[in-house]
Structures are given as C-alpha cells and as structure tokens.
C-alpha cells in the first residue's frame, strides 16, 4: 500500500507517491515565474486549476488506483498561505473520498528526509537552503527528538535574496541558475559579509549588490554576490560541523542545486574528513515525493491527527516538529 504526498508551498504543485521509502511517482506543475515575483493568490489559482491533472499523472506513473493509497500527506508549512491551502484542500478531499488518514508535513523535513533516505544517512549536519529558508540543522534528543537549529538567517532566505537581485539586474528567469550563468568569468569585488557565530544575514548584501549595479557590470556583481553569500554559508556550516561533531554533511533545498555552493561545501567537508551528500536536482527542487516520504514515516511510526490539527501554518518551524522515527 502506498502513501501519496502533496507539496504546494510556493510555485510548485507536486504530487509524489512512495511505498516503503521507494519513490513510485513524482509529478509536478510549476507556476511560470519569468521576470516577476509571485503573487500568492495568482499562484494558488494556478495550482487549483492544475491539481487534479498532477494527481492523475502521479497515479498513472505509479501504476496504482486511488483505492491502493493508504494515507495522504500535505505540506502544512512554512510557505505561502493561499498555496498551502490548495494543497491542504486537495489532500482533504482525497482523504474524505477514500477514508484515508491525513498527515500534516513540515516542508523542511521533506527536503531533509528525502535526501537522508536517498543516501541512508544516520545523523548528518544539514544545511537547508531554499527561497524562504536558510538553516543549519541536526537531530538532538532533548527535550524531545527534533531537528535543532544550530544557525539560521536573521532576515530572508538566500534563495529569495538571489531571486530579488536577479529581478533588479533584469535577469530572466529571475532565479539562482540565471545569476550563476551571469556570474561566469566575473571578477570579485568586496561586499558586506555578515556571519555571527552560526547565524547569518542577507538583506544588507542584497541592498549593496543592487546598488553596485549602478557602477559595476552585472557579471562582476553576480559573481561577487554569489561568492560572498556562499562563503557566509560555508563559514557558519563549518563552525556547526565542528561544534556538533557530525561526520556527515548534507545540503538540501532549492539552492542546493547550485554547482558553486556544492563545490565550496565539498571543500569544507573534505577538510574535516566528513562525508558530503547532495540529492539529485529533482529532489532538491520542491516536489511531492519528499512530502510522501515524510508522511510515510509519520504514518508508520503511529502518528494520528484529529481534524483540529490538520491546519496550515505559514511559519511552521522545523524545530517544533517531533521526529518519531
Ligand atoms: Fe523547498
């Protein structure tokens, strides 16, 4: 019997199906971003129109019927309210129609657990980097088993910072891989570098980079921004790796698709003789399979939810979630 997971925190409506950790299907539809940001209600409308098609494609890919689903997971948060609500509604309708238990999944946990499972990692230090989030995490047992936040951004997620810069620089589509292309062959100039212990901040860097476009080329500014932001993450991660005494370092989330970030973190891990692990890009981008994977762990470890707990929470922090597996 399989578990179906629905992801809808932002631009992606994803539906994944897994069985005993094996991913049977991973389908998605993505709101076209181009050169603009996201207006949450417009993205939610797009998800609403596409949800049934993506669910059908996932069932077809897995080669199963709805009756063969054992439980349904959806992303409870963090994310954009209207988008989360569409995923929750779709999951609720399936659960009511087929009388299935519902599992409210933390989005960050999805990114972490799908990578952990892919490499069968036991106790890694996790750098989770995406649009809205940037955190350094690791499992601790007290006061309950959960992912402790060793360090995190004081202001915005690195992904949103890079996307905002891309829009200011007129890069299309306005996201990280476009900035990475624009940065090729660039020359470094100094930018604000903000690390406090294992925490960091990005808005000062973003403002400085956007102002620098008046006096520097897009290429040099993109290059300097990327190098500075990634070096900040590497410094904080290296400190956490030593403090937490972890032997494995994994990076996950949308920004983990960056070749340059992987290269830099790989050097940090190597210097401290830690294993270094990154998922393939299709699992680092938002997707439904990561929600199905966590929903299955929650369900099989005996978690049950009453109707009142099956809400959405735009600011659902990963360190408040009990890890029961
Ligand atoms: Fe994400």
Q: What is the domain-level CATH number for residue 63? A: 3.30.420.40
Q: Residue 115 falls within a domain, yes or no?
A: no
234 Cα–ligand 1 center, Å: 20
Sequence-ordered alpha helix ranges (H) in 120-202: 158-168, 176-183
279 Cα–ligand 1 center, Å: 13
The answer to whether residues 38 and 186 belong to one domain is: no
14 Cα–ligand 1 center, Å: 11
The answer to whether residues 231 and 141 belong to one domain is: yes
Q: What is the mean pLDDT of residues 115-137?
A: 96
Q: End-to-end alpha-carbon separation of the chain, Å?
A: 19
The pLDDT value recorded for residue 159 is 96
Q: Residue 229 falls within a domain, yes or no?
A: yes
The answer to whether residues 130 and 274 belong to one domain is: yes
204 Cα–ligand 1 center, Å: 23
The pLDDT value recorded for residue 35 is 66
289 Cα–ligand 1 center, Å: 12
30 Cα–ligand 1 center, Å: 13
Instruction: Give 182's pLDDT tier (boundaries 50, 70, 90).
Output: very high
State the pTM of this model.
Answer: 0.95
Q: Residue 315 falls within a domain, yes or no?
A: yes
The answer to whether residues 16 and 106 belong to one domain is: yes
**Are residues 17 and 3 in contact, defined by beta-carbon separation less than 8 angstroms?**
yes
63 Cα–ligand 1 center, Å: 27
The answer to whether residues 150 and 223 belong to one domain is: yes
Q: What is the mean pLDDT of residues 48-75?
A: 97
Q: Residue 87 falls within a domain, yes or no?
A: yes
Q: Residue 152 falls within a domain, yes or no?
A: yes
The answer to whether residues 252 and 146 belong to one domain is: yes
Q: Which residues of 169-179 are buried (b: 16+ CB within 10 A; e: fewer)?
A: bebeebbbebb
The answer to whether residues 162 and 271 belong to one domain is: yes
- Directed axis angle between helix 158-168 and helix 203-212, to 10°? 20
54 Cα–ligand 1 center, Å: 18
218 Cα–ligand 1 center, Å: 27
Q: Residue 53 falls within a domain, yes or no?
A: yes
The total number of structural domains that make up the chain? 2
135 has a pLDDT exceeding 90 = yes
List the beta bridge partners of residue 15.
Answer: 6, 27
The answer to whether residues 228 and 149 belong to one domain is: yes
The answer to whether residues 146 and 201 belong to one domain is: yes
Q: What is the mean pLDDT of residues 278-284?
A: 92
Helix (H) or strand (E) holding 225: helix 218-244
The answer to whether residues 12 and 67 belong to one domain is: yes
285 Cα–ligand 1 center, Å: 6
91 Cα–ligand 1 center, Å: 19
321 has a pLDDT exceeding 70 = yes
**pLDDT 10s digits, 248-275:** 999 999 999 999 999 999 999 999 999 9
**Are residues 310 and 88 in contact, defined by beta-carbon separation less than 8 angstroms?**
yes
- Listed in order, strand segments (DSSP E) in the chain are 2-7, 12-19, 22-30, 69-77, 102-106, 125-129, 134-140, 146-152, 195-196, 199-200, 248-252, 275-278
- Which residues, 6 or more positions from 46, have their beta carbon under 8 angstroms from its beta carbon? 13, 29, 31
Q: Residue 117 falls within a domain, yes or no?
A: no
263 Cα–ligand 1 center, Å: 21
202 Cα–ligand 1 center, Å: 18
48 Cα–ligand 1 center, Å: 19
166 Cα–ligand 1 center, Å: 19
Domain that holds residue 86: 2-110+283-320
Q: What is the mean pLDDT of residues 284-312?
A: 96
The answer to whether residues 176 and 302 belong to one domain is: no
The pLDDT value recorded for residue 64 is 97
Sign of the C-alpha dihedral computed for residues 160, 165, 170 and 175 taken in this order:
negative
215 Cα–ligand 1 center, Å: 34
The answer to whether residues 169 and 230 belong to one domain is: yes
**Are residues 44 and 88 in contact, defined by beta-carbon separation less than 8 angstroms?**
no
87 Cα–ligand 1 center, Å: 14
The pLDDT value recorded for residue 212 is 98
Q: Residue 325 falls within a domain, yes or no?
A: no
189 Cα–ligand 1 center, Å: 30
Q: What is the mean pLDDT of residues 187-203?
A: 98
């Amino acid at each position: 019997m399989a578990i179906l997971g629905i992801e809808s925190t932002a631009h992606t409506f994803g539906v994944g199906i897994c069985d005993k950790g094996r991913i049977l299907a991973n389908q998605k539809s993505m709101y076209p971003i181009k050169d603009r940001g996201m207006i949450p209600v417009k993205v939610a409308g797009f998800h609403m129109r596409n949800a049934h098609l993506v669910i059908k494609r996932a069932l077809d890919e897995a080669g199963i019927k709805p009756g063969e689903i054992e439980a349904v997971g959806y992303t409870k948060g963090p994310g954009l309210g209207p988008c989360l609500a569409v995923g929750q509604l779709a999951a609720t309708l399936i659960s009511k129609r087929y009388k299935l238990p519902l599992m409210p999944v933390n989005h960050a946990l999805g990114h972490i657990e799908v990578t952990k499972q892919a490499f069968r990692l036991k106790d890694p230090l996790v750098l989770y980097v995406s649009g809205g989030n940037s955190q350094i995490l690791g499992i601790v047992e007290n006061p309950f088993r959960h992912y402790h936040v060793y360090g995190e951004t004081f202001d915005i997620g690195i992904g949103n910072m890079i996307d905002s810069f891309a829009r200011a620089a007129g890069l299309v589509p306005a996201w990280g891989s476009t900035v990475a292309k624009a940065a090729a062959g660039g020359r470094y100039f100094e930018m604000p570098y903000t690390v406090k212990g294992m925490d960091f901040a990005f808005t000062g860097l973003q403002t400085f980079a956007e102002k620098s476009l008046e006096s520097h080329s897009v290429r040099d500014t993109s290059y300097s921004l990327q190098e500075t932001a990634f070096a900040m993450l590497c410094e904080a991660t290296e400190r956490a790796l030593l403090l937490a005494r972890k032997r494995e370092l994994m990076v996950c989330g949308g920004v983990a698709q960056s070749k340059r970030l992987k290269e830099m973190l790989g050097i940090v891990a190597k210097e401290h003789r830690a294993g270094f692990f990154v998922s393939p890009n299709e699992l680092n981008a938002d997707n439904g399979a990561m929600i199905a994977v966590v929903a299955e762990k929650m369900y099989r470890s005996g978690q049950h939810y009453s109707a009142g707990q099956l809400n959405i929470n735009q600011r659902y922090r990963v360190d408040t979630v009990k890890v029961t597996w």
